[in-house]
Amino acid sequence: MITSLDTLKRGQKAIILEFTLDQVPLKLLEMGCLPGNEVELVQIAPFKDPMYLNINGSHLAIRRETACHITVETLSDE
């Protein structure tokens, strides 16, 4: 299913498809958030923000406002 990153559930995995370039900082790309890479939502902080991700082995947290600009395709197996 194609959706945006901020709709993932805890533990769910997905493949990054694309993102709105002006809304996603370069730094995030450099940390491995690139199309084709796998992303796992490790944990969501209270109040649903920020989101703790594992992108291709890099563990990092970003805010929901950034995550919603990243389009992903969910992987069916949990």
Partner 1 sequence: MSKQLNVALIGNPNTGKTSVFNQLTGLKQQVGNYPGITVEKKEGVCKLPRGVKAHILDLPGTYSLNASSLDENVVIELLLNKNDKDYPDVAVVISDVENLKRNLLLFTQIKDLKIPTILVINMADRMERKAITLDVEKLEERLETKIALVSSRKNTGFEHLKELIANYKSLSVEPCVNASVIAPEYFDRLRKAFPKQDLYKLWLVITQDVNFGKLDRNEMQGISSFKTESKSNLKRLQQKETIVRYQFINGVLKETLSIDHLAAKDLRSRLDRVLTHKVWGYVIFLAILLLIFQAIYDWSSYPMDLIDEAFAAAGEWVRNTMPPGAFTSLIAEGILPGLGGIVIFIPQIAFLFLFISILEESGYMSRVVFLMDRIMRRFGLSGKSVVPLVSGTACAIPAIMATRNIESWKERLITILVTPFTTCSARLPVYLIIISLVIPDQKVLYIFSLQSLVLMLLYLIGFGTAILSAWVLDRILKIKKRTFFVIEMPNYKLPLFKNVAYNVIEKTKSFVFGAGKIILAISIVLWVLASNGPGENFTNAEANVTARMEAGAFPQDELDKHISAEKLEYSYIGYMGKAIEPVVRPLGYDWKIGIAIVSSFAAREVFVGTLATIYSVGSDEEETIKNRMAGEVNPILGGPLFNLASGISLLLFYAFAMQCMSTLAIVKRETNTWKWPVLQLVIMSGFAYVVALVAYQLLI
SS in 3 state form for the chain?
A: CEEEHHHCCCCCEEEEEEECHHHCCHHHHHCCCCCCCEEEEEEECHHHCCEEEEECCEEEEECHHHHCCEEEEECCCC
Interacting residue with partner 1 among 2, 3, 34, 73 (CB under 8 A): 34
Decide if residue 1 touches partner 1 (CB under 8 A): no
Give, in order, the Cα–Cα distances in Å from 70 to each of 1, 48.
Answer: 14, 17
Interacting residue with partner 1 among 4, 7, 12, 56 (CB under 8 A): 56
Decide if residue 49 touches partner 1 (CB under 8 A): yes
Interacting residue with partner 1 among 9, 26, 77, 78 (CB under 8 A): 26
Interacting residue with partner 1 among 31, 38, 68, 71 (CB under 8 A): 31
Question: Near partner 1 by CB under 8 A, which window of 1-9, 41-49, 70-78?
Answer: 41-49
